[in-house]
Protein backbone atom coordinates (compact mmCIF):
# COMPACT_ATOMS: atom_id res chain seq x y z
CA UNK A 1 0.00 0.00 0.00
CA UNK A 2 1.19 3.47 -0.80
CA UNK A 3 0.87 6.21 1.70
CA UNK A 4 -1.33 8.57 -0.27
CA UNK A 5 -0.61 11.58 1.89
CA UNK A 6 3.12 11.17 1.30
CA UNK A 7 2.49 10.86 -2.43
CA UNK A 8 0.50 14.06 -2.42
CA UNK A 9 3.23 15.85 -0.55
CA UNK A 10 5.77 14.45 -3.01
CA UNK A 11 3.74 15.59 -6.01
CA UNK A 12 3.32 19.04 -4.61
CA UNK A 13 7.01 19.26 -3.84
CA UNK A 14 8.16 18.08 -7.24
CA UNK A 15 5.64 20.02 -9.27
CA UNK A 16 5.93 23.25 -7.42
CA UNK A 17 9.68 23.36 -7.18
CA UNK A 18 9.79 26.45 -9.34
CA UNK A 19 11.08 30.00 -8.93
CA UNK A 20 9.06 32.28 -6.71
CA UNK A 21 7.79 34.29 -9.66
CA UNK A 22 6.50 31.25 -11.54
CA UNK A 23 2.78 31.38 -12.05
CA UNK A 24 1.90 28.59 -9.70
CA UNK A 25 -1.13 28.69 -7.42
CA UNK A 26 0.47 30.74 -4.68
CA UNK A 27 1.60 33.38 -7.18
CA UNK A 28 -1.91 33.54 -8.65
CA UNK A 29 -3.08 34.24 -5.11
CA UNK A 30 -0.43 36.83 -4.36
CA UNK A 31 -0.76 38.84 -7.57
CA UNK A 32 -4.54 38.95 -7.18
CA UNK A 33 -4.42 39.80 -3.49
CA UNK A 34 -1.82 42.55 -3.88
CA UNK A 35 -3.63 44.26 -6.75
CA UNK A 36 -6.97 44.11 -4.94
CA UNK A 37 -5.54 45.50 -1.70
CA UNK A 38 -3.76 48.27 -3.63
CA UNK A 39 -7.20 49.37 -4.81
CA UNK A 40 -8.41 49.84 -1.27
CA UNK A 41 -10.82 46.92 -1.04
CA UNK A 42 -11.41 45.13 2.27
CA UNK A 43 -8.93 42.40 3.14
CA UNK A 44 -11.63 39.75 3.43
CA UNK A 45 -12.83 40.46 -0.10
CA UNK A 46 -9.32 40.52 -1.55
CA UNK A 47 -8.52 37.23 0.18
CA UNK A 48 -11.56 35.61 -1.43
CA UNK A 49 -10.82 37.04 -4.89
CA UNK A 50 -7.28 35.70 -4.59
CA UNK A 51 -8.50 32.35 -3.30
CA UNK A 52 -10.83 32.03 -6.28
CA UNK A 53 -7.90 32.77 -8.62
CA UNK A 54 -5.77 30.19 -6.78
CA UNK A 55 -8.43 27.49 -6.85
CA UNK A 56 -8.98 27.39 -10.62
CA UNK A 57 -5.94 25.09 -10.76
CA UNK A 58 -7.96 22.70 -8.63
CA UNK A 59 -11.62 23.04 -9.56
CA UNK A 60 -11.17 23.70 -13.28
CA UNK A 61 -7.90 21.93 -13.88
CA UNK A 62 -9.15 20.10 -16.94
CA UNK A 63 -10.86 23.05 -18.61
CA UNK A 64 -8.10 24.28 -20.88
CA UNK A 65 -9.67 27.64 -21.66
CA UNK A 66 -9.59 28.46 -17.94
CA UNK A 67 -5.80 28.50 -18.24
CA UNK A 68 -5.61 30.21 -21.63
CA UNK A 69 -4.56 27.01 -23.35
CA UNK A 70 -5.71 25.30 -26.52
CA UNK A 71 -7.23 21.88 -26.38
CA UNK A 72 -4.84 19.38 -27.88
CA UNK A 73 -5.61 19.49 -31.61
CA UNK A 74 -7.62 22.72 -31.44
CA UNK A 75 -6.66 25.57 -33.76
CA UNK A 76 -5.06 28.65 -32.24
CA UNK A 77 -8.00 30.75 -33.46
CA UNK A 78 -10.60 28.50 -31.83
CA UNK A 79 -8.55 28.11 -28.66
CA UNK A 80 -8.00 31.84 -28.28
CA UNK A 81 -11.62 32.54 -29.05
CA UNK A 82 -12.77 30.14 -26.35
CA UNK A 83 -10.46 31.76 -23.80
CA UNK A 84 -11.47 35.30 -24.79
CA UNK A 85 -15.12 34.29 -24.68
CA UNK A 86 -14.62 32.96 -21.18
CA UNK A 87 -13.27 36.34 -20.12
CA UNK A 88 -16.08 38.17 -21.87
CA UNK A 89 -18.71 35.93 -20.26
CA UNK A 90 -17.16 36.45 -16.83
CA UNK A 91 -17.15 40.18 -17.50
CA UNK A 92 -20.90 40.03 -18.09
CA UNK A 93 -21.44 38.00 -14.92
CA UNK A 94 -19.34 40.48 -12.95
CA UNK A 95 -21.46 43.35 -14.28
CA UNK A 96 -24.69 41.58 -13.37
CA UNK A 97 -23.35 40.62 -9.96
CA UNK A 98 -22.19 44.15 -9.19
CA UNK A 99 -25.76 45.23 -9.90
CA UNK A 100 -27.04 42.54 -7.56
CA UNK A 101 -24.62 43.61 -4.82
CA UNK A 102 -25.78 47.20 -5.10
CA UNK A 103 -29.40 46.12 -4.93
CA UNK A 104 -28.89 43.63 -2.12
CA UNK A 105 -25.64 43.66 -0.18
CA UNK A 106 -25.91 40.01 0.75
CA UNK A 107 -23.08 37.64 1.59
CA UNK A 108 -24.19 35.47 -1.30
CA UNK A 109 -23.90 38.22 -3.89
CA UNK A 110 -20.53 39.45 -2.66
CA UNK A 111 -19.15 35.93 -2.48
CA UNK A 112 -20.32 35.28 -6.04
CA UNK A 113 -18.70 38.49 -7.20
CA UNK A 114 -15.36 37.52 -5.64
CA UNK A 115 -15.47 34.16 -7.35
CA UNK A 116 -16.20 35.56 -10.80
CA UNK A 117 -13.47 38.15 -10.40
CA UNK A 118 -10.92 35.59 -9.20
CA UNK A 119 -11.67 33.20 -12.04
CA UNK A 120 -11.27 36.05 -14.52
CA UNK A 121 -7.94 36.98 -12.99
CA UNK A 122 -6.68 33.41 -13.31
CA UNK A 123 -7.53 33.49 -17.02
CA UNK A 124 -5.68 36.70 -17.80
CA UNK A 125 -2.73 35.74 -15.61
CA UNK A 126 -2.35 32.35 -17.26
CA UNK A 127 -2.57 33.90 -20.72
CA UNK A 128 0.60 35.78 -19.89
CA UNK A 129 2.42 32.49 -19.33
CA UNK A 130 0.74 30.08 -21.70
CA UNK A 131 -0.51 32.07 -24.70
CA UNK A 132 -2.37 28.95 -25.69
CA UNK A 133 0.33 26.32 -25.26
CA UNK A 134 -1.41 22.92 -25.19
CA UNK A 135 -0.80 20.56 -22.32
CA UNK A 136 1.39 17.98 -24.08
CA UNK A 137 3.95 20.67 -24.97
CA UNK A 138 3.68 22.29 -21.55
CA UNK A 139 4.01 18.97 -19.75
CA UNK A 140 7.06 18.08 -21.82
CA UNK A 141 8.74 21.28 -20.72
CA UNK A 142 7.69 20.80 -17.10
CA UNK A 143 9.28 17.35 -17.13
CA UNK A 144 12.48 18.75 -18.58
CA UNK A 145 12.54 21.29 -15.76
CA UNK A 146 11.82 18.77 -13.03
CA UNK A 147 14.21 16.13 -14.33
CA UNK A 148 17.06 18.31 -15.57
CA UNK A 149 16.68 21.55 -13.67
CA UNK A 150 16.05 23.58 -16.82
CA UNK A 151 13.70 26.58 -16.97
CA UNK A 152 11.66 25.75 -20.05
CA UNK A 153 8.17 25.90 -18.58
CA UNK A 154 6.30 29.01 -19.75
CA UNK A 155 5.21 29.51 -16.14
CA UNK A 156 8.79 30.27 -15.11
CA UNK A 157 9.40 33.17 -17.50
CA UNK A 158 9.75 36.31 -15.34
CA UNK A 159 7.98 38.44 -17.95
CA UNK A 160 4.87 36.33 -17.44
CA UNK A 161 4.49 37.54 -13.86
CA UNK A 162 4.99 41.16 -14.91
CA UNK A 163 2.33 40.78 -17.59
CA UNK A 164 0.04 39.01 -15.12
CA UNK A 165 0.22 41.95 -12.72
CA UNK A 166 -0.62 44.41 -15.49
CA UNK A 167 -3.61 42.40 -16.70
CA UNK A 168 -4.81 41.87 -13.13
CA UNK A 169 -4.65 45.60 -12.46
CA UNK A 170 -6.65 46.32 -15.62
CA UNK A 171 -9.43 43.89 -14.71
CA UNK A 172 -9.65 45.08 -11.11
CA UNK A 173 -9.69 48.71 -12.21
CA UNK A 174 -12.74 47.86 -14.31
CA UNK A 175 -14.43 46.00 -11.44
CA UNK A 176 -13.97 48.83 -8.95
CA UNK A 177 -14.92 51.46 -11.52
CA UNK A 178 -18.14 49.57 -12.08
CA UNK A 179 -18.85 49.45 -8.33
CA UNK A 180 -18.10 53.15 -8.11
CA UNK A 181 -20.41 53.90 -11.05
CA UNK A 182 -23.20 52.17 -9.15
CA UNK A 183 -22.38 54.20 -6.08
CA UNK A 184 -21.30 51.19 -4.04
CA UNK A 185 -18.83 51.66 -1.20
CA UNK A 186 -15.90 49.26 -1.16
CA UNK A 187 -16.42 48.65 2.55
CA UNK A 188 -19.60 46.69 1.94
CA UNK A 189 -17.52 44.00 0.19
CA UNK A 190 -16.25 42.69 3.52
CA UNK A 191 -19.57 40.90 4.07
CA UNK A 192 -18.27 37.72 2.46
CA UNK A 193 -18.22 33.97 2.95
CA UNK A 194 -14.82 32.39 3.61
CA UNK A 195 -13.64 29.67 1.23
CA UNK A 196 -10.32 27.88 1.72
CA UNK A 197 -7.51 27.17 -0.70
CA UNK A 198 -7.48 23.91 -2.67
CA UNK A 199 -4.37 22.57 -4.37
CA UNK A 200 -4.25 20.78 -7.70
CA UNK A 201 -4.96 17.13 -7.06
CA UNK A 202 -2.01 14.87 -7.61
CA UNK A 203 -4.07 12.66 -9.91
CA UNK A 204 -4.67 15.65 -12.18
CA UNK A 205 -0.99 16.51 -11.89
CA UNK A 206 0.09 13.03 -12.94
CA UNK A 207 -2.43 12.99 -15.78
CA UNK A 208 -1.04 16.27 -16.96
CA UNK A 209 2.55 15.08 -16.87
CA UNK A 210 1.53 11.92 -18.70
CA UNK A 211 0.24 13.98 -21.61
CA UNK A 212 3.85 14.89 -22.49
CA UNK A 213 4.04 11.70 -24.51
CA UNK A 214 1.45 13.18 -26.91
CA UNK A 215 3.59 16.13 -27.93
CA UNK A 216 4.82 16.10 -31.53
CA UNK A 217 7.62 18.59 -30.94
CA UNK A 218 5.91 21.56 -32.61
CA UNK A 219 5.73 24.84 -30.67
CA UNK A 220 2.09 25.88 -30.51
CA UNK A 221 1.17 29.22 -29.01
CA UNK A 222 -1.13 31.99 -30.12
CA UNK A 223 0.03 35.48 -30.98
CA UNK A 224 -0.29 37.33 -27.70
CA UNK A 225 0.30 40.70 -29.32
CA UNK A 226 -3.24 40.16 -30.62
CA UNK A 227 -4.88 37.93 -28.00
CA UNK A 228 -3.71 39.69 -24.85
CA UNK A 229 -5.15 43.14 -25.68
CA UNK A 230 -8.29 41.58 -27.17
CA UNK A 231 -8.92 39.51 -24.05
CA UNK A 232 -8.43 42.54 -21.83
CA UNK A 233 -10.62 44.84 -23.90
CA UNK A 234 -13.50 42.34 -24.09
CA UNK A 235 -13.43 41.73 -20.33
CA UNK A 236 -13.25 45.42 -19.49
CA UNK A 237 -15.98 46.28 -22.00
CA UNK A 238 -18.30 43.57 -20.65
CA UNK A 239 -17.82 44.83 -17.08
CA UNK A 240 -18.40 48.43 -18.14
CA UNK A 241 -21.37 48.15 -20.47
CA UNK A 242 -24.44 46.10 -21.29
CA UNK A 243 -23.75 46.73 -24.96
CA UNK A 244 -20.37 44.99 -25.16
CA UNK A 245 -19.99 42.42 -27.89
CA UNK A 246 -17.84 39.34 -28.24
CA UNK A 247 -16.20 39.07 -31.65
CA UNK A 248 -14.40 36.02 -33.01
CA UNK A 249 -10.70 36.76 -32.76
CA UNK A 250 -9.73 35.62 -36.26
CA UNK A 251 -11.07 36.96 -39.53
CA UNK A 252 -11.20 33.47 -40.92
CA UNK A 253 -11.26 30.04 -39.37
CA UNK A 254 -7.72 29.19 -40.39
CA UNK A 255 -4.84 29.03 -37.96
CA UNK A 256 -3.77 32.63 -38.48
CA UNK A 257 -2.99 33.20 -34.81
CA UNK A 258 -0.54 30.34 -34.49
CA UNK A 259 3.03 31.32 -33.83
CA UNK A 260 6.02 29.04 -33.42
CA UNK A 261 8.56 30.94 -31.38
CA UNK A 262 10.79 27.91 -30.92
CA UNK A 263 12.22 25.45 -33.42
CA UNK A 264 10.72 21.98 -33.49
CA UNK A 265 11.97 19.58 -30.84
CA UNK A 266 12.99 16.00 -31.61
CA UNK A 267 10.53 13.89 -29.65
CA UNK A 268 11.56 10.51 -31.05
CA UNK A 269 12.99 9.36 -27.71
CA UNK A 270 9.93 10.38 -25.74
CA UNK A 271 9.67 12.83 -22.88
CA UNK A 272 12.06 13.05 -19.98
CA UNK A 273 11.61 10.43 -17.35
CA UNK A 274 12.89 10.59 -13.86
CA UNK A 275 12.38 8.24 -10.99
CA UNK A 276 10.94 10.81 -8.64
CA UNK A 277 7.99 11.57 -10.87
CA UNK A 278 7.37 7.90 -11.54
CA UNK A 279 7.27 7.20 -7.85
CA UNK A 280 5.05 10.15 -7.09
CA UNK A 281 2.54 9.18 -9.78
CA UNK A 282 2.46 5.51 -8.93
CA UNK A 283 -0.37 5.96 -6.46
CA UNK A 284 -3.83 4.62 -6.78
CA UNK A 285 -6.26 6.36 -9.08
CA UNK A 286 -9.52 6.22 -7.19
CA UNK A 287 -9.62 9.73 -5.79
CA UNK A 288 -12.74 11.81 -6.28
CA UNK A 289 -12.12 14.74 -8.55
CA UNK A 290 -13.49 18.02 -7.24
CA UNK A 291 -16.81 19.45 -8.28
CA UNK A 292 -16.66 22.03 -11.05
CA UNK A 293 -18.01 25.53 -10.58
CA UNK A 294 -20.77 26.63 -12.91
CA UNK A 295 -19.88 25.92 -16.49
CA UNK A 296 -19.11 28.69 -18.91
CA UNK A 297 -21.25 28.23 -22.02
CA UNK A 298 -19.29 27.98 -25.28
CA UNK A 299 -19.16 30.83 -27.81
CA UNK A 300 -19.98 28.24 -30.45
CA UNK A 301 -19.99 24.52 -30.84
CA UNK A 302 -16.47 23.34 -31.45
CA UNK A 303 -17.37 19.71 -31.71
CA UNK A 304 -15.43 18.75 -28.60
CA UNK A 305 -12.55 17.22 -30.51
CA UNK A 306 -9.90 15.32 -28.68
CA UNK A 307 -7.03 14.05 -30.75
CA UNK A 308 -5.31 12.45 -27.81
CA UNK A 309 -4.21 8.97 -28.67
CA UNK A 310 -3.03 6.30 -26.31
CA UNK A 311 0.50 5.97 -25.09
CA UNK A 312 1.38 5.85 -21.48
CA UNK A 313 4.47 7.33 -19.93
CA UNK A 314 7.08 6.29 -17.40
CA UNK A 315 7.14 2.92 -15.72
CA UNK A 316 3.57 3.21 -14.59
CA UNK A 317 0.47 3.14 -16.69
CA UNK A 318 -1.83 6.11 -16.91
CA UNK A 319 -4.48 3.98 -18.54
CA UNK A 320 -6.31 3.65 -15.27
CA UNK A 321 -6.60 7.41 -15.11
CA UNK A 322 -7.84 7.60 -18.69
CA UNK A 323 -10.56 5.12 -17.75
CA UNK A 324 -11.75 7.34 -14.95
CA UNK A 325 -15.32 8.20 -14.36
CA UNK A 326 -15.40 11.64 -15.88
CA UNK A 327 -14.84 13.32 -19.18
CA UNK A 328 -11.30 14.55 -19.09
CA UNK A 329 -10.83 16.15 -22.50
CA UNK A 330 -7.22 17.16 -22.20
CA UNK A 331 -4.87 17.72 -19.35
CA UNK A 332 -4.07 20.92 -17.66
CA UNK A 333 -1.07 22.58 -16.34
CA UNK A 334 0.10 24.64 -13.44
CA UNK A 335 0.17 28.20 -13.80
ZN1 LIG B 1 -4.01 27.82 -14.43
Cα of 109 vs centre of ligand 1, distance in Å, is 25
Cα of 180 vs centre of ligand 1, distance in Å, is 30
The percentage of the chain sitting over the pLDDT mark of 90, rounded to a whole number, equals 57
113 or 335, which is more confident? 113
Contact 249, 127 (CB under 8 A): no
- Average model confidence (pLDDT) across the chain: 81
Cα of 65 vs centre of ligand 1, distance in Å, is 9
pLDDT at 228: 97
Most confident range, picked from 3-17, 123-137, 192-206:
123-137
pLDDT at 192: 95
Cα of 334 vs centre of ligand 1, distance in Å, is 5
Cα of 181 vs centre of ligand 1, distance in Å, is 31
Give the mean pLDDT of 74-82.
94
- Report the candidate in 133, 145, 32 with the shortest Cα–Cα distance to residue 74: 133
Of 34-48, 163-177, 194-208, the one with minimum mean pLDDT is 194-208
The percentage of the chain sitting over the pLDDT mark of 70, rounded to a whole number, equals 76
Cα of 167 vs centre of ligand 1, distance in Å, is 15
Give the mean pLDDT of 181-190.
93
pLDDT in tens, 310-335: 222 332 233 222 222 223 333 344 45
pLDDT at 333: 42
Distance separating alpha carbons of residues 296 and 81, to the nearest angstrom: 13
> Does residue 133 surpass a pLDDT of 60?
yes
Cα of 101 vs centre of ligand 1, distance in Å, is 28
258 or 112, which is more confident? 112
141 or 31, which is more confident? 31
Cα of 8 vs centre of ligand 1, distance in Å, is 19
Task: Report the 10 Å Cβ neighbour count for 233.
Answer: 15
Cα of 32 vs centre of ligand 1, distance in Å, is 13
Cα of 304 vs centre of ligand 1, distance in Å, is 20
pLDDT at 209: 86
pLDDT at 11: 47
Report residue 242's pLDDT band, with 50, 70 and 90 as the boundaries: very high
Residue 132 β-bridge partners: 69
Give CA separation, 112 vs 100, 106, 172, 211, 252, in Å: 10, 10, 15, 33, 36
222 or 327, which is more confident? 222
Distance separating alpha carbons of residues 13 and 327, to the nearest angstrom: 27
Cα of 23 vs centre of ligand 1, distance in Å, is 8
Distance separating alpha carbons of residues 235 and 243, to the nearest angstrom: 12
pLDDT in tens, 244-262: 999 999 986 667 888 877 8
Report residue 214's pLDDT band, with 50, 70 and 90 as the boundaries: very high
Task: Report the 10 Å Cβ neighbour count for 90.
Answer: 27
pLDDT at 22: 67
Cα of 60 vs centre of ligand 1, distance in Å, is 8
Cα of 108 vs centre of ligand 1, distance in Å, is 25
pLDDT at 235: 98
Give CA separation, 53 vs 25, 62, 106, 118, 123, in Å: 8, 15, 22, 4, 8
Of 32-41, 135-144, 319-328, the one with minimum mean pLDDT is 319-328
- Give the burial string for 263-289 (b: 16+ CB within 10 Å, else e): eebebeeebbeeeebebbbebebeeeb
> Does residue 143 surpass a pLDDT of 90?
no
| Sign of the dihedral through C-alpha 302, 118, 23, 225 | positive
pLDDT at 322: 25
> Does residue 225 surpass a pLDDT of 60?
yes
Amino acid sequence: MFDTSRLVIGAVFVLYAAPAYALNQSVHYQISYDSCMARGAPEAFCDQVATAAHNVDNSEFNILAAHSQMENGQTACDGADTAIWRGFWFGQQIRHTVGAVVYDNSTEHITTLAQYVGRTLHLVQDNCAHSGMPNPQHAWKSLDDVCHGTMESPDTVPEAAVCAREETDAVLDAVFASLSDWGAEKELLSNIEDHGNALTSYLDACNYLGSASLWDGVDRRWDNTIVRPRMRSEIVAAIASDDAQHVYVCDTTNDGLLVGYDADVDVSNGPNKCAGISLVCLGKADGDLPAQPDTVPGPQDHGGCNTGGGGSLFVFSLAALALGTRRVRTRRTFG
